Chain A
Amino acid sequence: GAGVSQSPSNKVTEKGKDVELRCDPISGHTALYWYRQRLGQGLEFLIYFQGNSAPDKSGLPSDRFSAERTGESVSTLTIQRTQQEDSAVYLCASSFGTGGNTGELFFGEGSRLTVL
């Protein structure tokens, strides 16, 4: 597609359930990023991929959060045993990602997660 695509756009789940959020980056973009944005807040870095490898997972809030990327394309962010504090918009972005000199990021519209 022409832009970064995220699905689902909205997800309502019950506390304790697992959720998977998907990101389709722009074709050819080697770098892929996940951010979390709570209501009215800034962006919180979660993880980034260079190709299929994740050099930096430092932003993942707990071991309930994991992410993978395959084929240097689609990425999935998984949250296990969701908690109410996980409620947020999860934003994905991709870029050409020249290492050591991050260029322009292209963002998807986000997946809004609500944990009841």
Chain B
Amino acid sequence: SQQGEEDPQALSIQEGENATMNCSYKTSINNLQWYRQNSGRGLVHLILIRSNEREKHSGRLRVTLDTSKKSSSLLITASRAADTASYFCATGTDKLIFGTGTRLQVFP
């Protein structure tokens, strides 16, 4: 079974808008990671947040982590058409288990 579940399953926005994706997980974690997958391609690592961190930034990405609620969010600010992709959260210790993903469509 999946460790994480993303919400929403799909999201459509206009360029320039912000996109927020949420991830819930089930067990205790050491860290949580977010990945991006362009259609038909492999996954690319975006950002890793440790269990003792609450927020982390990388360029237009902002990730938050709430271990008490077992949830994380990924915010993409000032979205671009090139941000169109699927986004996955992933957690695990010896093996990384991925969530179900959010399909983001950014319209020019």
Q: A48 near B94 (CB under 8 angstroms)? A: yes
Known: A42-B100, A109-B42. A56 touches B88 (CB 8 A): no
Q: Does A28 contact B (CB under 8 A)?
A: no
Majority SS at the chain A contact face: loop
Q: How many A-B residue pairs have CB under 8 A?
A: 62
Q: A91 near B100 (CB under 8 angstroms)? A: no
Q: B33 near A104 (CB under 8 angstroms)? A: yes
A91 partner residues in chain B, CB cutoff 8 A: 42-43
B92 partner residues in chain A, CB cutoff 8 A: 102
Q: Does B31 contact A (CB under 8 A)?
A: yes
The residue from A33, A43, A101 contacting B88, defined by CB atoms under 8 A apart: A43
Q: B94 near A105 (CB under 8 angstroms)? A: no
Q: A43 near B98 (CB under 8 angstroms)? A: yes
Assuming A35-B98, A105-B35, what are 10 further A-B pairs, CB within 8 angstroms? A4-B42, A33-B96, A41-B100, A42-B99, A42-B100, A91-B42, A91-B43, A101-B30, A104-B45, A105-B43
Interface residues of A (CB under 8 A from B): 4, 33, 35, 41-43, 45, 48, 50, 55-56, 91, 93, 99-110
